[in-house]
Structure 1
Amino acid sequence: MNYTLNQLRVFLKIVQTESVTKASEELFLSQPAVSIQLKNFQDQFPIPLTEVMGRRIYITDFGREIAAAAEQILQQVQAIDFKTASYKGLLTGRLRISIVSTAKYVMPYFLTDFMQNHPEVQLQMDVTNKQKVIESLENNEVDFALVSLLPSKLNVDKLDLLDNQLYLVGKAGIDLKKNQNIKNIFENLPLIFREKGSGTRQTMEQFIEDKNLTVLKRMELATNEAVKQAIIAGLGFSIMPIIGLRNELETEKIQIISCAGLPITTKWQLIWREGKKHSPVAEAFLDYLEMHKEAIIAEKFGWCAAT
């Protein structure tokens, strides 16, 4: 047997994604390169690891056993790398964070310098919906989560990072009648909602309920990016976090619509399980945020306050 660590990584990713194409995308390799690595790995075993039927690849039972062994091997290699770096006096380990989709406009800016200062730290950041973010926290699968609304059924500690301001927005160039009261504005606007469970949707629905508004629900979309494109296409209006609209506002594709009671301000909050014992990496990241978050906000997010 002369398989390499790279072949183990490639095969494990193919098993995890059940797709050569998806594996190549996640590994930042070409599809032919991944296929060659798979073939070279398979050639070392007398029993098939995969089967191709139609356009789909299936993992055999033997292949799944090899994948499980490969994962253990790679974890041990990673542990060796961590120990080596530790002996050199470097901060090592993995930082695991789960964030809601809109938080992708926020979290990277609070990570960049920390990761550059600690090159031996490995970042695992999952961008997903709110339900899965909270589940990963409940199952103790991550160190931190970034949300705009705190979970109602989970005790957490938190660090406030940044104001999250939500405005009523629509396609640029649409001329709405001025001086309308809030009820008249919303009665005549086709609204685009995020999917159920979204923090943005919860905030929007709470605003509608608090103001006792009658609204026209035009559609429901799963991501902020989809909502933005629908707005730009003229399909409707929505209440959205300004943090994800910088480019569209600067290029005048989307406009903010002045409305009483808006913006709604919530907080982007880094949260973790109450009583959780942090790893050295997680503890160092919290210390870094406490020391540098105000400077990061001023440098990277000052445009929000100026809007």
Structure 2
Amino acid sequence: MNYTLHQLQIFLKIAQLESITKASEELHLTQPAVSIQLKNFQEQFAIPLTEVIGRKLYITEFGQEIASAAEKILNEVNAINYKTLAFQGKLSGKIKISVVSTGKYVMPFFLSEFMKAHEGLELIMDVTNKQRVIETLENNETDFALVSVLPEKLRVNKVELMANKLFFVSSSSKKFRKVPLSKNEFEKLPLIFREYGSATRNAMETFITQGNYSNAKKIELTSNEAVKQAVISDLGCSVMPLIGLKNELMNNDVSIVPIKGLPIMTSWNIIWLESKKLSPAALAYLDFINVEKQSIIEKSFGWIENY
């Protein structure tokens, strides 16, 4: 047998997608080129690797075994390449990270030095809502996700990054008769909520339920930035993550209002599927995080300890 790594890569992609057309698109090759490589690869085996039924391509049982072996071989090759590139400081490839909206204040600080050290890497960071973050993780569309609440229905590994504190905040122009805020005064305030499914909203609703508060004045906004601007303009008050309020607190645009039951303490976590076969670049990033996270926290987030 005289098959090549290129043929193994092409056949594995065909087996994963069960489509020559889709495989050619993902590999950035022409469809005829992929078909020729599949034909040349098949000629080295006496048993069929694929079969076509009703114009649809299927991978035979033997083909599945070969695809599994091809994946192991390619993973070993990638590991060798990773060790070589890491030794030279020349990693390449892509890292895909899905981040809940408030996480945009966190994630860039844990990426900056790593990306500078490996200029051959590409970074794709999708900042979206919690539901979409979990969907991309579940569908294997991303390497990592940044969340403050771990998903209940997925088996994931995690690296805990740092604390996430949530406080009750108001416009600095708003004056209260006394603090900590009384239950009666709290219940008179218009409250600004994030959208359903948001971890911040869930934390706020839990706080209200546990405190046995009632409040009829409710405003719902769909991003942390929108909530922040609404608080600054004195449209209402909200429970918000401290991480996104650094400049507003320094500029005296918002104030933290003491109230029983707050702050709420959670943690920011980088997570990935237990079943995920991480790329050399992703593995290198985990190594970086485990070694450097404390120095990043001290350098970029030391101000949090003041609250």
Same fold (TM over 0.5): yes
What secondary structure, in the 3-state scheme, does the structure 1 residue paired with 2:217 have? strand
Q: State how 1:221-260 maps to structure 2 within 5 Å.
A: 221-260=221-260
Q: Secondary structure, in 3 states, of the residue corresponding to 1:166?
A: strand
Counterpart for residue 294 of structure 1: 294
State the identity %: 50
AA of the residue aligned to 1:160? E
Pair 235,112 (structure 1): closer, same or farther in 2 beyond 3 Å: same
TM-score normalised by L of structure 1: 0.71
Q: How does 1:15-30 map to 2 (within 5 A)?
A: none
8 Å CA contact 1:160–1:267 kept in 2: the answer is yes
For 2:160, what is the secondary structure of its paired residue?
A: strand
- Deviation (angstroms), 1:188: 1.4
Q: 2:193 & 2:173 partners in 1: Cα distance?
A: 22
If the length of structure 2 is used for normalisation, what is the TM-score?
A: 0.71
Question: Cα RMSD over matched residues?
Answer: 2.3
| Cα distance in 2 between the residues matched to 1:217 and 1:206 | 17
Aligned: 1:195 with 2:151: no
| 1:113 aligns to 2:129 (yes or no) | no
Q: Encode CA deviations 1:209-229: one digit per residue, 9 max, x unaligned.
A: 111111233310000111111
The alpha-carbon deviation at position 155 of structure 1 amounts to 1.3
* Deviation at residue 70 of structure 1 after TM alignment: 10
| Cα distance in 1, alignment partners of residues 268 and 280 from structure 2 | 24
Superposed counterparts of 1:148-163, under 5 Å: 148-163=148-163
Q: Is the 8 A contact 2:137 2:145 kept in 1?
A: yes
Distance 2:201 2:272 in 1: 23
Alpha carbons 1:186, 1:216 under 8 Å: kept: no
Q: Does the CA contact (< 8 Å) of 2:105 and 2:244 recur in 1? A: yes
Shift of 1:234: 1.1
Q: Distance in 2 between matches of 1:143 and 1:93?
A: 12
Give the CA deviation at 1:182. 4.4
Residue 263 of structure 2 aligns to which amino acid in structure 1?
A: P
Residue aligned with 1:234, SS: coil
Question: Is the 1:100–1:127 Cα contact (8 Å) retained in structure 2?
Answer: yes
Between the aligned partners of 1:153 and 1:101, the Cα distance in structure 2 is 21
Give the stretch that moved more between structures: 148-157 or 85-94: 85-94
Unaligned runs of 5+ in 2: 1-20, 31-77
Q: What residue number does 1:125 align with?
A: 125
1:72 aligned onto 2:31: no
Aligned amino acid, residue 123 of structure 1: L
**DSSP-derived class of the 2:150 partner:** coil
2:138 alignment partner AA: E
In 2, Cα distance between the equivalents of 1:288 and 1:302?
20
Q: 1:152 to 1:69 in 2, by over 3 A?
A: closer
Q: CA deviation at 1:173?
A: 2.4
The one-letter code of the counterpart of 1:192 is I
Question: Are the aligned partners of 1:190 and 1:237 in contact in 2 as well (CA < 8 Å)?
Answer: yes
Contact 2:182 2:259 in 1 (8 A): yes
Secondary structure at 2:213 match in 1: coil
Partner of 2:92: 92
Give the counterpart letter for 1:261 in structure 2: G
Paired residues in the alignment total 233
- Cα displacement string for residues 4-37 of structure 1 (whole angstroms, at most 9, x for unaligned residues): xxxxxxxxxxxxxxxxxxxxxxxxxxxxxxxxxx
CA deviation digits over 1:239-277, x for unaligned, max 9? 000100111111111111011111111100101112322
